[in-house]
Amino acid sequence: MGSTLLTVRLGMDPPPRLDKALARDVPEDAALSRTRLARLIEAGQVAVNGAVVTDCKARVDEGDEVAITVPEAEESHILPEDIALDIVHEDGDLIVVNKPAGMVVHPAPGTPTGTLVNALLHHFGGDLSGVGGAKRPGIVHRIDKDTSGLLVVAKSDAAHHGLAAQFEKHSAQRRYLALCNGVPDASDPRLRGLRGITFEPGNILRIATHLGRHRTDRQKQAVGWSGGRHAVTRARAIQQFGAPAVCALLECWLETGRTHQIRVHMAYAGHGLIGDPVYGGKRKLPHKALPPAGLAMAQQFPRQALHAASLGFVHPVSAQEMMFEAPLPADMAGLIAALTPEAENSTVA
């Protein structure tokens, strides 16, 4: 297998650790993330002043010459599968797909096949320059199995490096549409009394907490105030259903992107998502407030009613600002239609 030799001379006042110094001084066009550099160091592919170093914490000094051997990308162990994809955009560096509900993003012990990555490997047909040392799609963010909507995936190390930096800095724009129990409103004294909840102009609900693993159920996330990771969600009701209103279509956007963030935050606020089997809670929709067909559909909705509707980012190679939108999937659009009285019935795009 071939390899490329990259030589770097460390600049003034380098960070004392080898991995951090390389992360700073390796040219950006080499598209080597700090994680990738750490793996190369540990694999014996990095020499400082002619001597191989395998400790990421090794001390380095200004002017040190570092030689990095970057092996050619290996074939992925994940098998390609011929699964249809809804491709919104594709170029030489990245692809944007509209993932259907029910599809897992990346293979895991419980779901080794049938995932988005399996489908992408088949779609690319080997046309990958390598991400992290392997010829595989670069997953920089995920959405839950039963959440539908937009994902951007890198096809090269350069794209992966640039996209990952945007998601880490929370500069990528992500907006979701969700159907929730109840209607969040600034006039609700219960919400005003909940820690971490405030309202911004325009009746925008802001939820700021920490999110971390649930103490007893390790498959779940839970709100906390110490430990975990800081998480901020904003949401506003854009359509209400029922007489009186008992559920709502929300527009949600993320300041951070944590596992299950919208689902956990809305449940914490007492407005769990319709159909959410994990965080939806035991709240029941009133029988008399909704059309019978809408009530029945909401009660039997088979997944969390959550859709990643828009995605914006700066193209990591061309620097072009990009924005994509995906219409509501048929199940959520059908639920909205059933919840809406016939005189007002309309399909939400």
Strand ranges for 191-257 from DSSP E: 197-200, 204-213, 221-224, 229-241, 247-254
- Residue 144: active-site member: yes
161-168 long-range contacts, CB within 8 A, separation 24+: 161/28, 161/31, 161/32, 161/33, 161/316, 162/314, 162/316, 162/317, 163/94, 163/138, 163/313, 163/316, 164/33, 164/138, 164/140, 165/316, 166/313, 166/314, 166/316, 167/140, 167/141, 167/257
Cα–chain center distance at 72 = 28
Name the amino acid, one letter, at 171.
Answer: S
Burial 133-172 (b: 16+ CB within 10 A, else e): bebbbbbbbebbebbbbbbbbbbbbbbbbbbbebeeeeeb
Tokens, residue 328: 């509501």
* Options 13, 55, 127, 144, the catalytic residue: 144
User: Which residues participate in catalysis according to the annotation?
Assistant: 144
